[in-house]
């Protein structure tokens, strides 16, 4: 009977965790942040420990999984609505290579050494730091690389063409919230931003799902209204 009980509890645990993962969305699997990693560990422990505790039955397993799932679900809603909570729980991307130079402060802040950085760069086909113009450490621990124009794809040097200036896109508005630090760091103020928004008939930050600026390019804006039309 013990084997039968364990089999039944395993099956129930498997189904409940599967349904919970489907409810919370694919992001829980594809981009595991620190918070997601802890959540996965706790969920695994809840089911795993229950299997060998004779006093815990199927109802207790279901209650634990469902209650923990509700907590995670509402936390995900909060992170979508509030940028400060999202940053606190999930962290924020860090520019570890800026304009071809290693940002040592960001490496130290993220407990990353040069060897680890080189390993992450090689996974993006950048075998030398001199090839990289920008490298961003994402919240899930991966690195995304923007190479210098001479090393990107079919290299400019192969055709003896003049190298082009590399510009890093900067997010000014995310989920209807102004990222004032990014705006100031790029040399702009809110007066300029509101003028640019007005050119595209946007009056409020809350109407904007995403706004991105890149040197030499017009401000890219996507509104919630466009999303609904799509």
Task: Note the pLDDT tens digit of each residue in 160-205.
Answer: 656 666 677 889 998 788 999 999 989 999 999 999 999 999 989 9
Judge whether residue 32 has pLDDT over 90.
no
pLDDT at 185: 87
pLDDT at 113: 81
Decide: helix, strand or coil at residue 145: strand
Q: Which domains does the chain have, with CATH numbers?
A: 2-89 (no CATH), 93-159 (3.30.240.20), 170-229 (3.30.240.20)
Mean pLDDT, range 40-54, rounded to an integer: 67
- pLDDT, greater one: 211 or 49: 211
pLDDT at 164: 64
Decide: helix, strand or coil at residue 125: coil
The pTM of the whole model exceeds 0.75: no
Task: Give the span between the Cα atoms of 3 and 7, in whole angstroms.
Answer: 6
Closest CA to 200 of 214, 184, 216, 211: 211
Task: Note the pLDDT tens digit of each residue in 115-148.
Answer: 888 888 888 888 878 888 999 988 777 898 988 8
Decide: helix, strand or coil at residue 112: coil
Closest CA to 20 of 4, 5, 42, 50: 42
pLDDT at 158: 60
When pLDDT is cut at 50, 70 and 90, the band that residue 28 belongs to is: very low
Mean pLDDT, range 148-166, rounded to an integer: 66
Task: Give the span between the Cα atoms of 5 and 53, in whole angstroms.
Answer: 11
DSSP string, 126-168: --SGGGEEEEEE-TTS-EEEEE-GGGSSS-GGGGTPPPPPP--
């Amino acid at each position: 009977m013990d084997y039968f009980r364990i089999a039944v509890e395993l099956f129930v645990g498997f189904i409940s965790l599967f349904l919970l993962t489907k409810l919370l969305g694919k992001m829980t699997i594809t981009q595991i942040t620190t918070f997601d990693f802890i959540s996965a560990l706790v969920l695994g422990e809840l089911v795993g420990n229950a299997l060998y505790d004779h006093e815990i039955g199927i109802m207790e397993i279901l209650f634990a999984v469902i209650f923990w799932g509700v907590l995670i679900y509402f936390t995900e809603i909060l992170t979508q609505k509030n940028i400060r909570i999202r940053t606190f729980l999930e962290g924020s991307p860090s520019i570890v290579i800026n304009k071809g130079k290693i940002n040592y402060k960001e490496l130290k802040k993220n407990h990353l050494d040069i060897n680890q950085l080189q390993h992450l760069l090689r996974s993006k086909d950048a075998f030398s730091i001199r090839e990289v113009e920008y490298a961003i450490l994402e919240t899930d621990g991966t690195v995304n690389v923007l190479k210098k124009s001479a090393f990107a794809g079919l290299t400019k040097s192969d055709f003896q063409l003049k190298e082009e200036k590399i510009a890093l896109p900067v997010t000014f508005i995310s989920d209807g919230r102004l990222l004032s630090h990014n705006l100031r760091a790029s040399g702009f103020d809110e007066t300029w931003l509101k003028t640019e928004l007005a050119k595209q008939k946007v009056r409020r930050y809350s109407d904007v799902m995403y706004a991105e600026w890149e040197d030499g390019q017009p401000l890219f804006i996507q509104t919630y209204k466009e999303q609904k039309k799509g």
